[in-house]
Amino acid sequence: MPQTNRVAHFIRLTAHRAARGRHLPRRHFHFYKSHAVHFWLRKATAPLSWRHRHWLLAGILFAAAAIIGVMAPRGANATRDPVASDFITLNLSVPPLPADADVGATALAGSAFDWTTVAVKSGQTVGAIFHEQGVSGADLQALLRDKDNTNALVRIRPGEEFSFAHAADGRLTALRFDRDEKTQVTVTFDAAGMHQATAARDLEHRTEVAHGVISDSLFDAANRAGMDDAMVIKLADAFGYDIDFAQDLRPGDSFTVIYDSVWREGEKLRDGDIQAAYFVNRGKRFSAIRYTDSHGGTMFYSADGRPLRKSFLRTPVAFTRISSYFSLARKHPILGYTRAHQGVDYAAPTGTPIHAAGDGRIVFRGWQHGYGNVVIIDHGRHYSTLYGHMSRFANEKVGQRVHQGQTIGFVGMTGLATGPHLHYEFRVDGVHRNPLTVTMPKPEPLPATELARFKRQSSPMLARLDKLDSLQLASAK
């Protein structure tokens, strides 16, 4: 039981991390994921990937057209012309060719070189790789002086690729790297010195659709539907305020997702953002529509225009389990006598980041008897939260504003604690309430004019989700 909880907690809380733009802890991710596989029932339901179907269909049509094109001239007869005209009208979607307008001279120059591609190995620096390929220290310094190159050359990751070209005598003649997704840099070397040229590469956003039914785990269902792990976390993030992915998922739950993917020159780089999604959990359907309001803020909303993001996180720590519930009378583990436990304890390893449950201002940061190192946040509108037993604080000081999900400190066992855990209190008008059951303030719906704009933009998306759902139901029969 703890295992499944940890897995799902991980899914949910990692989603919060991802939302804050951090790198995922891949090592743990794979561990949890591999253990997540078997905790649901065995009822396999074939997921549907429209993307694959479309390409399959296109492929079959194309193959048919090709066969007809080859066969028809040999077997010339009365049926030939109608067949020929049929396949001429076929309108196949073909990946667009890379834009050649702005690639221009660099691409032409680039194609004249005989490139050798080097993939970065773990622990390698760009200096070592460049030195090995004959790039002088001075030239590397010159490349690094161009601030636009810094990210690409300093923060290199294993698997990233650099290309080098050498003359017959072994002299370096050119090198090439991706400055970012859209920009390729080609550096050429000749008697006059080093020349840097950049080429813009067109990115193309495509819309993809996935539908999955959970039989074993959310990850399995989503992977079968063609979604990568990062997209699963985005999905869990979007619905994480309404669905407790630790305890609420059941076999038979399903999801339908419309999302972006980013392509370059016919090659998929990555999945983009969720545009709209349904998640059916225990028979109840939740919707999420990505919407950028007229002030430029982007969030997920339900179909009726309420933000999915709530005022408070469900859980302020990741990788956790509840070790002690809110109670009006419990025997204190250290003091020995019975008294109220006015919060919830989350057991977690020392050093686990503690997140602000909601937007607010730090009103206390320091030592309090029993609580040890403690932070108190005032969220306004009568709400405040308290975080106790911290091993240490994050940088935010008293009086500073913090955002929901921001790290305010780290799990520890300072004060009266038998093991590392977060003691979390939720107060309404100064009165302790059970954070697991207290009625949270409802998010404000969009104001009227904004709501009208939202409805205009979201209705085609919702219609599309409905259509996909009905097609899926029909194909499942």
425 binds Zn ion (CB under 5 A): no
Segment lying near Zn ion (by CB under 5 A), choices 143-151, 164-172, 196-204, 343-351? 343-351
CB atoms under 10 Å from CB of 166, counted, come to 17
> Which residue do the tokens 């093991």 mark?
419
For the bound state, the minimum distance from the C-beta of residue 324 to Zn ion, rounded and expressed in Å, comes to 6
Concatenated DSSP letters of 109-126: HHHTS-EEEEEPPTT--H
Which C-beta is closer to Zn ion: that of 302 or that of 350?
350
Residue 12 in tokens: 């949910």
423 binds Zn ion (CB under 5 A): yes
Segment lying near Zn ion (by CB under 5 A), choices 48-56, 97-105, 151-159, 417-425? 417-425
Segment lying near Zn ion (by CB under 5 A), choices 34-42, 111-119, 175-183, 421-429? 421-429
Residue 347 in tokens: 């057991």
For the bound state, the minimum distance from the C-beta of residue 321 to Zn ion, rounded and expressed in Å, comes to 14
Question: Residue of minimal CB distance from Zn ion?
Answer: 423
389 binds Zn ion (CB under 5 A): no
DSSP bridge pairs for 289: 276, 301
Which C-beta is closer to Zn ion: that of 9 or that of 341?
341
Which C-beta is closer to Zn ion: that of 302 or that of 342?
342
Site for Zn ion in 54-113 (CB under 5 A): none
Which C-beta is closer to Zn ion: that of 201 or that of 423?
423
201 binds Zn ion (CB under 5 A): no
Segment lying near Zn ion (by CB under 5 A), choices 15-23, 422-430, 446-454, 456-464? 422-430
Phi-psi region of 355 (alpha: psi -120 to 50; beta: other; left: phi over 0): beta
* Cβ contact 187:148 at 8 Å: no
Residue burial 269-291, b: 16+ Cβ < 10 Å; e: rest: eebbebbbbbbbbeeeebbbbbb
Contacts with Zn ion by CB under 5 A: the residue count is: 3
For the bound state, the minimum distance from the C-beta of residue 311 to Zn ion, rounded and expressed in Å, comes to 23
Which C-beta is closer to Zn ion: that of 184 or that of 385?
385
Cβ burial of 298 (10 Å; 0-12, 13-18, 19+) is: exposed
Which C-beta is closer to Zn ion: that of 307 or that of 388?
388
Segment lying near Zn ion (by CB under 5 A), choices 69-77, 102-110, 243-251, 416-424? 416-424
Which C-beta is closer to Zn ion: that of 231 or that of 417?
417
For the bound state, the minimum distance from the C-beta of residue 425 to Zn ion, rounded and expressed in Å, comes to 8
Concatenated DSSP letters of 145-199: HSHHHHHHHHS--TT-EEEEEE-TTS-EEEEEEEEETTEEEEEEEETTEEEEEEE
* Cβ contact 109:188 at 8 Å: yes
- Single out the residue of 345, 365, 385, 408 in contact with Zn ion (rule: CB under 5 A): 345
355 binds Zn ion (CB under 5 A): no
Which C-beta is closer to Zn ion: that of 342 or that of 472?
342
> Which residue do the tokens 């997209």 mark?
231
For the bound state, the minimum distance from the C-beta of residue 338 to Zn ion, rounded and expressed in Å, comes to 14
Which C-beta is closer to Zn ion: that of 294 or that of 418?
418
For the bound state, the minimum distance from the C-beta of residue 343 to Zn ion, rounded and expressed in Å, comes to 5
What are the angstrom distances between the C-alpha of 226 and each of 114, 134, 165, 220? Answer: 36, 42, 37, 10
> Which residue do the tokens 């004019």 mark?
449
Strand ranges in 240-371 using DSSP code E only, listed in sequence order: 254-264, 267-281, 284-292, 298-301, 321-324, 327-331, 338-341, 344-347, 353-355, 360-368
Residue ranges that bind Zn ion, judged by CB under 5 A: 343, 345, 423
